[in-house]
């Protein structure tokens, strides 16, 4: 592809990234869809989208040298939603979806659905999803007999996340009221089918067989869609959700996210489990 023949929009985006070639390698032939409309964008919008492309390029690594393209429908979503994305972790999620969408299969536009999903989540919900699925991966890593597609197996993957793990991981400030934000986070993720069977608060009765005194926190189960989003956010859409617990599959934490230890698996008799939460 002749870089000099590509329009002003790509030049603007490439300048913001520091490499017009990176944009072309990430998008493939779809780069031709970036028009001159970007010249009417604010500097902040261009910078936000540039960050997403930079994230995508990093996640692709050497794969961006292989044949492939991003479906135009996915690019449209990235440009529309990414222009107003000022949250670092959300930018990582969009970048992961952009990287995951690069394929030799022209009709594989699944990334468009994930872009829509991410755009419906708040910054709090995105961070909680990131934290929860790192915790689940850490606790159950290597347990290959657990099948994320099986409702019974997902029940076996219940985790207890104490407040003194959850709160620091969420990095709430003094002005952010945890008692208001936590139900927003949990009910929102449940509504989008990114977690299931959650309970929170004082869980003394639920965990009465535990010797530990620390029984205040969150219990939840993963979902298939929650795992899929996690994989796509890391640019690993080629990995089946069934491989989520493969110990060879690594998901490094971001530099600005710290998850204290303390979360545990929940082992309870089935008749002690709470009923499925009704949709709010």
Q: Is 162 helix (H, G, I), strand (E, B) or coil?
A: strand
Q: Is the pLDDT reported for residue 131 higher than 90?
A: yes
pLDDT at residue 1, as a whole number: 40
105/41 Cα distance (integer angstroms): 31
Q: Which residue segment(s) compose the domain that 17 sits in?
A: 3-120
Stretch among 10-14, 64-68, 211-215 having the lowest mean pLDDT:
211-215
Q: Is the pLDDT reported for residue 195 higher than 60?
A: yes
Stretch among 4-18, 44-58, 73-87, 227-241 having the lowest mean pLDDT:
4-18
Stretch among 21-35, 49-63, 99-113, 192-206 having the lowest mean pLDDT:
21-35
Rounded to 10°, the helix 8-17/43-60 angle is 70
pLDDT at residue 270, as a whole number: 44
In the chain, how many domains are there? 2
Q: What percent of the chain has pLDDT over 90?
A: 71
Tokens of residue 223, six digits: 């979902």
248 in the same domain as 213: yes
Q: What percent of the chain has pLDDT over 70?
A: 92
pLDDT at residue 139, as a whole number: 95
141 in the same domain as 69: no
Q: Are 274 and 205 in contact (CB under 8 A)?
A: no
**37: how many CB neighbours lie within 10 A of its CB?**
12
109 in the same domain as 61: yes
Phi, psi of 217 (to 5 degrees): 165, -140
85 in the same domain as 183: no
97/114 Cα distance (integer angstroms): 7
Q: What's the pLDDT band for 206 if we cut at 50, 70, 90?
A: confident
Would you call 126 exposed, middle or buried from its count of C-beta atoms within 10 A (0-12, 13-18, 19+)?
Answer: buried
141 in the same domain as 11: no
**31: how many CB neighbours lie within 10 A of its CB?**
23
* Threshold 0.85, pTM exceeds: yes
107 in the same domain as 18: yes
259 in the same domain as 132: yes
Q: What's the pLDDT band for 71 if we cut at 50, 70, 90?
A: very high
157 in the same domain as 92: no
């Amino acid at each position: 592809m002749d870089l000099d023949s590509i329009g002003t929009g790509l030049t603007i985006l490439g300048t913001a990234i520091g490499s017009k070639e990176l944009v072309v390698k990430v998008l493939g032939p779809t780069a031709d869809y970036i028009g001159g409309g970007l010249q009417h964008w604010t500097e902040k919008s261009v910078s936000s989208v540039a960050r997403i492309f930079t994230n995508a390029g990093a996640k692709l690594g050497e794969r961006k040298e292989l044949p492939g393209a991003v479906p135009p429908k996915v690019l449209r979503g990235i440009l529309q939603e990414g222009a107003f994305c000022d949250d670092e972790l959300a930018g990582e999620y969009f970048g992961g979806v952009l990287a995951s969408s690069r394929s030799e299969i022209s009709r594989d536009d699944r990334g468009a659905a994930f872009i829509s999903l991410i755009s419906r989540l708040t910054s709090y919900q995105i961070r909680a999803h990131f934290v929860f699925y790192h915790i689940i991966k850490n606790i159950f890593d290597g347990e290959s007999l657990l099948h994320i597609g099986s409702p019974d197996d997902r029940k076996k993957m219940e985790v207890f996340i104490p407040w003194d793990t959850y709160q620091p991981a969420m990095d709430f400030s003094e002005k952010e009221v945890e008692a208001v934000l936590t139900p927003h986070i949990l009910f929102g993720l449940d509504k989008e089918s990114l977690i299931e069977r959650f309970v929170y608060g004082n869980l003394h009765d639920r965990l009465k067989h535990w010797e530990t005194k620390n029984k205040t926190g969150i219990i939840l189960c993963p979902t298939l869609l929650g795992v899929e989003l996690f994989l796509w956010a890391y640019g690993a859409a080629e990995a089946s959700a069934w491989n989520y617990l493969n110990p060879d599959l690594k998901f490094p934490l971001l530099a600005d996210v710290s998850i204290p230890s303390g979360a545990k698996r929940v082992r309870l008799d089935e008749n002690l489990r709470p009923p499925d939460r009704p949709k709010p």
